[in-house]
Structure 1
């Protein structure tokens, strides 16, 4: 180890020689020592024995720059081809516009430290995602894509346009059963649950058109296969009739549907699905006559009066002579009374073959 002041002072021969040797030792040993040389010059070397570092003076001759570690291969530096780093590599924090780590020919793509315990990925000079103690955050509604095995298509997940608040969805701990769906408990915890049937099998609906939609059958009493429509058969069974291999649908053509009494007592004594004929409730009709009259017309008539010629004080008209009797008509007279038949205008008639309210004809269908 040697250091020198880089000066050869005027002196006697032995002192000049010692001074020369000391300067050569300092030069050949890179000014090694436990402290920096007191006399420096730009680009001079300094082997710092305190930390085994090789340093070089900067161009301004204002400070030493550490080049590497003397005790390590290649001074602890990576060679240009296939470097293998050991120890810790540190880089400055940088900013989005001044990346400390970027790529040749693409200097606006790389990484920088955004804050403590956080670094950000930048592409095209824009922050895309960052990693911190909370996890991975993808910015600006960019998608997280999962490619298929051929890398030709992907499935992506991304945030909505505007979220009202931070939302964290926690996946369930198992994959559930076939046909299950994911549901939330309102706090972001997801679980699998059986898919509720939107339209229950066996439910009956009215159609405003006469085309039967997919997944339905017309309620026309037809016999259908117990195997083909097993789910429907499990619901209605033999309620409307069946054979060994078929069962009948309800026949609602031209029918009004009435709610099943189910022990209420309004329509008691009926089985579920049974048909019921038409019936009139016993009742009376009240007729009110505001009043009318009958007129009598007599065109004129005669009254015959019996008589005899015996004057016996009986009050009968007598004629002269004896042995005569008979009848004499009175004079023609009218009473001015007439009787005419008048109608009340009230009639009761039985019309039609059924009693019904106003209605519109539609088609009943049943869900299979």
Structure 2
């Protein structure tokens, strides 16, 4: 910045022309002061001109900044009131003003990463903020306008509530509400879309559980048949053993005899008699058993023919499933 020099007091160098020496000294001093003041004045003028240029540049820059600030303020005001136009695949504005007008939510960024209508799964019993349970609830078309817009172009909106598949959106009351898909208890499957793995499948159709047709390689039909076999020959052998010990005991035996009776003359009548007697008690003992050798022999085995089937027991429960864990299906709204 330019510095204004102090003007010298030239009266101090006034002199009388008759005083030659003093006049010369004062005249030289005055000239020297004039030269110094002139130099300072030139420097001040140069610096002042530079300051003027700087001020002009600063003024232009300030005007440009003011113009840009005005434009930014106008754009920010427009964004805060209406939001930026959505891009392709973006279902909302970039910024939305909170109800208290004190903050903003990066709604569009979230909606770009998690677009409206996306199904997410959470290990929770409640839906996170920005989601609703995909449980078939009836909701407001106004409150969930973005989701209702998605439902209308999804190709998964039923014509009527009565004809709705559980995994479809429904028209609700036909004017103010609509219903959400219901994915509770279901497994997701990617839509075939003409590939041919799951042919004929339409969007918005629930598929019931099923096992692929297969063969167990067995035959359970009735058949008349028998089972035969033999026990191999064991060479010349016999079987021996003994009875179990049975404490102090005795054995019964039957005594038989003949009795003759004189019937007169030379005739006699003979009768056979039997009587049961017992041996004496012999104390604790057992009896040896010996089966005589029957030579080298085998034993044949025959199971008679019979008509019968062989059953295969059923197993399992009410559905086909793998090891799993429960997750809550939620829809982005």
The alignment's TM-score, normalised by the length of structure 1, stands at 0.40
Higher relative contact order (CA 8 A, sep 6+): 2
Higher helix proportion? 2
